[in-house]
Amino acid sequence: MTTLNSIPYTEVTSVYGSAASVFSSATSVLATATDTVTSKSLANAAQQAQATMSFYSYLEILATATDDSVKSTVASQAIAASSSMIKLFDDNTFYNGNTPSLGGNVALLVVMGIFLAFHIAAGVFYKEWWLFSCWTIGLILEVLGYVGRVMSSHDVSSFNGYILQIVCLILGPSFIMAGLYYTLAQLTVVMGEYYSRLKPMQYTLIFVICDLIGIVIQAVGGAMAASSVYEFSSSRPGANIMVGGIAVQVASMSLFQALWYDFLYACYKERKATGDAHFVKRYQFVRDNKLFTALIWSISLSVLFIYVRSIYRLIELAQGFSGHLAVTEIYFFILESLMMCLAILLITVLYPGFVYGRNPDLIVDKRLKTTFSMNRTPKPNTIEDSGIEEAEDEAKYTDDS
């Protein structure tokens, strides 16, 4: 009673007026709406505005009433209206009213922050500039994503928090994958490009372009979905566009994994047949590192974890922002957070620099004329041929640089 009476009368009338305006707009547009999802959105807005008007109309009466019995009755009605209003808002707010866990998301924010600090330091120390750039951007997005979820845990109706976590956590893994694409290019150089279907930089170029296309599509869809929150319209078109962007990335990752395992199988067959005889002699020191095989396993598993996460996101967005997967946090923690943490942890524990060394002189030819050339380095027939061809390739690269 005291709490209800403590709200200033001017604030009561102001909120009531705003709610009445929203109710009027929603019902006006609803009269001509034909889309089912749009109609539902309008009806929800109208319901919430009507519940707000009901609650604040009781407060208006309470503010001017003098009879104690009237005050008591109106106060009871106001409390009941307040409960209805809160339930309606919870049912129709972001995450369907399921407030994200503060503890869980703070823990993930700290973990991603630690990963970010490590990869900045390791990238600079080992001079892994491509991996450094891609993973720094990707991990900054991951950190910002969990900042958004922490904001939502404090205020589930926070538009900024909701959009921040949606956009950043969907885009972040694209940059993580871009770093892994270049790692395959490096391993192709270490083993010999004649075991690969593509030239080293073709992996990076093709799959990064595919990721960029996916990122642009997702960004457009995300912008459309965000703008629909401010309007009485469906977020379904924006979500559908974002699904298309993630589908592009899933298809790209599927092809990448096929080429990756084809490359590994070719190397396996060669080692089984001739040992290290035809592998690039210049990088024998990399293959002799005890962590080399573990690095290959870590990359394989890391890509697989991100792939599982991408399929989850594809299904989640296909269901919509209020679908079961989108509003049930346990699925998010397992299929998004855990998958990304495992993927990043593997490349943290088995960082490529640990295997290549600080100054490995690992030359990945980035010249466009070489990248787009159809000429491929043939597999050497003898160990001597391997050494001669390596020397010739290095001389060509040095002369053209």
In this structure, is residue 304 part of a structural domain?
Answer: yes
Task: Tell me the pLDDT of the chain (401 aa) as tens digits.
Answer: 445 555 555 665 666 567 667 666 656 655 655 554 454 555 566 566 666 666 666 666 666 666 666 666 756 666 665 665 555 555 556 777 688 999 999 999 999 999 999 999 999 999 999 999 999 999 999 999 999 999 999 988 777 898 899 889 988 999 999 999 999 889 999 999 889 988 888 888 899 899 889 888 888 887 777 666 555 555 677 778 888 988 999 999 999 999 999 999 999 999 998 888 889 998 999 999 999 999 999 999 999 999 999 999 999 988 877 788 988 999 999 999 999 999 999 999 999 999 998 876 777 777 766 666 666 666 666 545 454 445 445 544 444 44
The angle at the Cα of 387, spanning 385 to 390, to the nearest 5 degrees, equals: 105
Domain count, the chain: 2
Q: Which domain holds residue 351?
A: 171-400
In a domain, 391, yes or no: yes
Work out whether the CA dihedral 112, 118, 124, 127 comes out positive or negative: negative
Instruction: State whether 80 and 229 are in the same domain.
Output: no
Distance CA 208, CA 206 (A): 6
What does pTM read for this prediction? 0.76
Q: Is 16 contained in some domain?
A: yes
Cα separation, 322 vs 310, whole angstroms: 18
Q: Point out the domain boundary residue: 92, 116, 133.
A: 92
Domain boundary among 71, 92, 113: 92
Indicate whether 201 belongs to any domain: yes
- If asked whether residues 357 and 223 sit together in one domain, one would say yes
Q: Which among 92, 116, 135 is the end of a domain?
A: 92
Residue at 260 is within a domain: yes
d(CA 212, CA 350): 27
Q: Tell whether 151 is covered by a domain.
A: no
